[in-house]
Structure 1
């Protein structure tokens, strides 16, 4: 199912003229690019001179517009070593917010992942971690700040038995049996999971393009934040379909995963599981109702990995006193 988006001609005429002025050529057509869940315009613009660029534009309303503004600032400050398309310009005019990028070569990877595409994506994240530690970009939130107020499910269910439309009875047996340690770790996850790497924080398969040479590039930096480098690896594994692969094996095969503190990884999985367990019960937006299915996929993947980790350790972790 594709996300419903607006046509290029629905953007204000003055905005379109300003884009053409900056690009030095009229826009002949804009072809919608598959992937993602954002509304508005997102596609490949073909100019009259034959050049192609990528444009994204949304009405500058209150919903998530700060993330889109943040993408402009982050993209403009990314080092050249980061495998991401270059920002041409950002533009806010006539009630719309627009971003224009160089067109990244390549195509979306497959789901479930093909071996060589997954390897390319993991190599890309290693390159990002090296170039973005410590973060060279200013003005971005921490991971904890970005997720503030979104990871309260386990504590609410333990305390009240319900959370929004979710009830304890709707949980799986394992979650019910482990609700107390889930709630305990959820309480402290934001103190545990901290770092100074600039994270993309949304490296789904449809935010990645892989070219014919096997080089992967990461697009859409609207959710960038700072935290441990291994967080983006976890997000990659949990937000896309791994097929029958074991996420633990993949995670520990890379340098970020090998160096990660197990308690911190558990804490982040608890937070992700909390977020997705709640949001998977909510309907997707009108323009992307299939977002609910994606959240449910990530919920299942996250809780399965966490269950496996705790089973291997014979008991859930304890945070102990925090200093």
Structure 2
């Protein structure tokens, strides 16, 4: 099983001894074994650890010296995931060690693995079921009070086409047919994506970064969602629609239309609304892929371009 793209994970042994000692104190026993988890894009450490007394946990660390944004994202995740009510499909937060320039977030370890890719129908169905259950009711008030609107969170991303329309030379290199299709309707794409900003909001808990490397499938088939710094309040179908891009990333022949028509998580999602969000996602991925390389996350721009091309192909199937 391959999870598409990853950053450079810091080994546990490179985490400062004082921070590791603080994690030992938090867990009540010294860590004696740490297994790095390679998937994902955070440039910090991510380890399943075992302590001398047999306690198991998952620990993420980050440093401002390596990537300041990662520290802030870990801080946000510790707050958001720590406020999740019992029973949510989210690993519980055991504690946070925040030294300002270094941070460690310690979670319960989930016995599980990332979904198989290309996606297997049973695992994809389980993830869509979990997203439907997660968004069946409004977010709990104590959690919702911490979160902003998905419309605000995605506002800048969904304006990517506006910037590309103003300067089409900023588009990444595309196949000639794709380039012609995009440039012929770039103003319409910008208008559609801007409209989507007002359509992604809502009162349901949304993750905003659901993909294979942010999901765990347990031996019982249950699903856990990890990496919550981007969480917001949004539309019930939002995460599930974004996930379909990941499904197509690994399997270009995946029947996305059958999923949109057949799974309850998409009930009530209008085709026009779905298309406008896909337009916005395509613009965001394509624009982001042309940004400066991030040395500590070496595969990021390629991953964004791959997602942009997949989104564009999906969009072209759905639009004339």
TM-score with structure 1 setting the length: 0.87
1:207 corresponds in structure 2 to: 214
SS of 2:68's partner is coil
Structure 2: runs of 5+ lacking an equivalent = none
* Distance verdict in 2 for CA 1:234–1:284, change over 3 Å: farther
2:169 corresponds in structure 1 to: 162
Which aligned pairs between 1:50-89 and structure 2 lie closer than 5 A? 50-60=54-64, 62-89=68-95
Conserved? CA contact 2:33–2:49, under 8 Å? yes
Most deviating of 223-232 and 126-135:
126-135
* Distance verdict in 2 for CA 1:169–1:161, change over 3 Å: farther
1:217 corresponds in structure 2 to: 224
SS of 1:196's partner is strand
2:9 corresponds in structure 1 to: 5
2:21 corresponds in structure 1 to: 17
Conserved? CA contact 2:161–2:190, under 8 Å? yes
What is the distance in 1 between the residues matched to 2:257 and 2:220? 28
Identify which of 116, 120, 123 aligns with 1:117. Answer: 123
Identify which of 254, 273, 278 aligns with 2:287. Answer: 278
Conserved? CA contact 1:84–1:104, under 8 Å? no
- Alignment of 1:267 with 2:276, yes or no, is yes
- Alignment of 1:91 with 2:97, yes or no, is yes
The Cα shift of 1:242 comes to 4.9
The Cα shift of 1:284 comes to 4.6
What is the distance in 2 between the residues matched to 1:66 and 1:56? 13
Deviations 1:25-82 (A, max 9, x none): 0011221012100011101111111221100010146324332211111111212232
Deviations 1:212-252 (A, max 9, x none): 22111111111111110111001211134351112222123
The Cα shift of 1:309 comes to 2.1
The Cα shift of 1:19 comes to 1.4
Most deviating of 137-146 and 120-129:
137-146
Conserved? CA contact 1:161–1:167, under 8 Å? no
What is the distance in 2 between the residues matched to 1:134 and 1:228? 15
Conserved? CA contact 1:168–1:176, under 8 Å? no
C-alpha RMSD over aligned residues: 2.3
Structure 1: runs of 5+ lacking an equivalent = 312-323
SS of 1:42's partner is strand
Conserved? CA contact 2:138–2:205, under 8 Å? yes
SS of 1:286's partner is coil
Runs of 4+ off more than 4 Å: 165-171
SS of 1:67's partner is helix
* Distance verdict in 2 for CA 1:87–1:160, change over 3 Å: same
TM-score with structure 2 setting the length: 0.88
What is the distance in 1 between the residues matched to 2:235 and 2:180? 31
Identify which of 44, 62, 71 aligns with 1:40. Answer: 44
- Alignment of 1:147 with 2:154, yes or no, is yes
